[in-house]
Structure 1
Amino acid sequence: MNKIIWIVLLLLYYSCSNNNNSKLTTINIKDTIVRLGSARLTDTLHYKFLIRNIGVNNLAIQNVSPSCGCVEFSWTKKAILPNESGYVSIAIKPKEKGEAVQTIVISTNTIKVFSTLKVFYNVY
């Protein structure tokens, strides 16, 4: 009886662990660190991160999380096919003067689930 329980548990473990990786893919982000230079306090800074699916399965950008409420964002919502590209587009509305950095974390269906993007700029 104990052998049957162990066999069933092993089968469940291996069947679940194999399914987790079956739809994962690989991405390439053109620039993960961007320097936008200087801007006025009244300016809006824009940038579009290009994200390429270099894997064999469809890529899904599941979520985008900026470090500040001053960052508006949009991203490719539909599945990105292998060898195709999508984007994460940002617009930063500075709140104060000085040097600043914004961090944007994106989650995708890749082995490394989270990718970090950084934007440096100076406000005068």
Structure 2
Amino acid sequence: MKKQILFSIALFTLIFTACEKKASAKINTTNIETAKERDAKLSLGAPIIEFDQKEYDFGTVTEGEKVQGVFKVTNSGKVDLIITSVKPSCGCTTPEYTKEAIAPGATGEIKFEFNSANRVGKQNKSITVKSNAEKNTEVIRLKGTVIAKS
């Protein structure tokens, strides 16, 4: 019985010692440095997205006209802002946007074209902007009136 107890103690000691050596041998110093860099960036906070305007009023246009405009986007945060998607509320609005990272303090654009064909009356369209900003979803709007062709 004593031999079994001594054998068990020796076996557990060997296993724990072997595990400790294997675990420390697996530490990759590159991963540690990468984690430190990531943590330093996280401590700066998230990017902050700001628009020069959140509503674009195109006034009154005649049916069939195409209205073009631009929303300016500024990154007020301390890390890069990345716009991940820009989706209009309907197929009558076509957006284009800055796809590259927007550095802190820099600006980008969301351009749009609204096609007023078959859209007579008051118009209120939205564009949903998703990004890596602190508030990751924003909605910007287009409004105006389309009068029928004579």
**TM-based fold match above 0.5:** yes
SS at match of 2:124: strand
- Asked whether 1:31 is paired with 2:46, we answer no
Q: Which consecutive segments of 4 or more residues in structure 1 shift more than 2 A?
A: 21-24
Q: Equivalent residue for 2:125?
A: 102
SS at match of 2:129: strand
Q: Equivalent residue for 1:111?
A: 134
Alignment: residue pair count: 106
Quote the sequence identity (%). Answer: 23
Q: Greater relative contact order (Cα 8 A, min sep 6): structure 1 or 2?
A: 1
TM-score w.r.t. the length of structure 1 is 0.80
Mapped to 2, the partners of 1:105 and 1:48 lie a distance apart of 14
Q: In proportion to residue count, which structure has more helix?
A: 2
Structure whose CA Rg is larger:
2
RMSD: 1.7
Q: Equivalent residue for 2:146?
A: 123
Q: In proportion to residue count, which structure has more strand?
A: 1
- Asked whether 1:80 is paired with 2:107, we answer no
TM-score w.r.t. the length of structure 2 is 0.67
One-letter amino acid of the structure 2 residue matched with residue 118 of structure 1: R
Structure 1: gaps spanning 5 or more residues:
1-17
One-letter amino acid of the structure 1 residue matched with residue 76 of structure 2: I
SS at match of 2:90: coil
Mapped to 1, the partners of 2:109 and 2:49 lie a distance apart of 12
Structure 2: gaps spanning 5 or more residues:
1-37
Mapped to 2, the partners of 1:96 and 1:56 lie a distance apart of 42
Deviations 1:13-61 (A, max 9, x none): xxxxx97x92721121110012110111110011100000011000101
